[in-house]
Amino acid sequence: MTNHHDLPPILEFDPNPRAMINADEHYHLIDIPKSVVFCFFYEIIDKLVADGLAREVHAMRSELGRHPVYAVRMPDGQEVGLMHPGVGAPLAAALLEEVSAHGARNFIAVGGAGSLRKELTLGHLVVPTKALRDEGVSYHYVVPSRWIEAQADVNHLITTVLDKHSIPYVLGPTWTTDAFYRETPAKVERRRNEGCLTVEMETSAFFAVCQMRNLRFGQILYSADDLSGTEWDGRGWHHRASLREQLTFLAAEIATMM
């Protein structure tokens, strides 16, 4: 008789793209922009709506309530989508599935991330090249591995736009974890030794969902709170309104080129 305590961790992977519940069976194609900015800055979304620059075109729902999708008209006349993707890999992955079932195919995410290196001062931009998969969602979309790679062509597009605007950035790995209250000093040191520049909660899941669903995705992180020292430093990262708004418009510009 099998001793269940002797069984290994659950890492089995089923490559079947169809599940018992499928987003495209419940969320059908509608008239929304094909390219969407996933903006983690809720106050910037609120400001764009209040200023009349973003109009709601749809809303999805969960037990949290409404998840609006907005359209923003760019100077060249194109419209790009804008929405908050939720916080944490499970919700972000579900909303990505649902909005892609509605017809969106290209995604640029912008958000803050904890800095694992002292030289990444507040506001320093990081374009993730790969993500360490310390969350659960990605293992349901891509064969288990320690790392998952970013899409090189989308990263090239991102860096081209940043270079055009003479905005400094660094390319490098990020650590995605579900449990930010368990980012212990020993774990931070291990991740830093593996080359991780930042820590956040969604990137590896975004990469995995988009890999399975054949969606285009890229991300720009800005160095926010600091985990590089002996104590955590919040650095007032939530209050960089001008940077957060600038990043949102940069992402929208990139989205028009996807």
Cα diameter, the chain: 68
* Secondary-structure percent of the chain, ordered helix, strand, coil, rounded to 5: 35, 30, 35
CATH number at residue 62: 3.40.50.1580
So what's the pLDDT on residue 163?
98
Does a structural domain hold residue 10? Answer: no
- Asked if the model's pLDDT at residue 91 lies above 90, the reply is yes
Question: How many percent of the chain have pLDDT more than 90?
Answer: 90
Q: What is the pTM of this model?
A: 0.96
Residue, of 237 and 145, whose pLDDT is higher: 145
Cα 24 to Cα 222: distance, rounded to the nearest angstrom? 33
Alpha-helical (H) ranges within the chain are 23-26, 42-50, 89-101, 152-164, 185-193, 203-213, 241-255
**pLDDT tens for residues 194-203?**
999 999 999 9
CB burial string 119-158: b at 16+ within 10 A, e below: ebebbbbbbbbbbbbbbebbbebbeeeeebebbeebbebb
pLDDT of 116 > 70? The answer is: yes
Query: Is 9 inside any structural domain?
Result: no
Count of other CB atoms within 10 angstroms of residue 29? 9
Asked if residue 124 has pLDDT above 60, the reply is: yes
| Cα 100 from Cα 102, distance rounded (Å) | 5
Q: Would residue 175 count as lying in a domain?
A: yes
Query: What's the total number of domains in the chain?
Result: 1
Residue-number span of the structural domain to which 151 is assigned: 31-255
CA distance 102 to 123: 33
pLDDT for the residue numbered 240: 75
Average pLDDT, the chain: 95
Residue 16 lies in a domain: no
- Counting residues of the chain whose pLDDT is more than 70, the rounded percentage is 98
pLDDT of 1 above 60 = no
Among 250, 238, 80, 74, which Cα is nearest to 168's? 250
The residues with which 201 forms a beta bridge, in sequence order, are: none
The string of pLDDT tens digits covering residues 139-154 is 999 999 999 999 999 9
Using only C-alpha atoms, what is the Rg of the chain?
Answer: 18
Has residue 26 been placed in a domain? no
Query: What are the structure tokens assigned to 56, written together?
Result: 């709601």
Q: Is 181 helix (H, G, I), strand (E, B) or coil?
A: helix
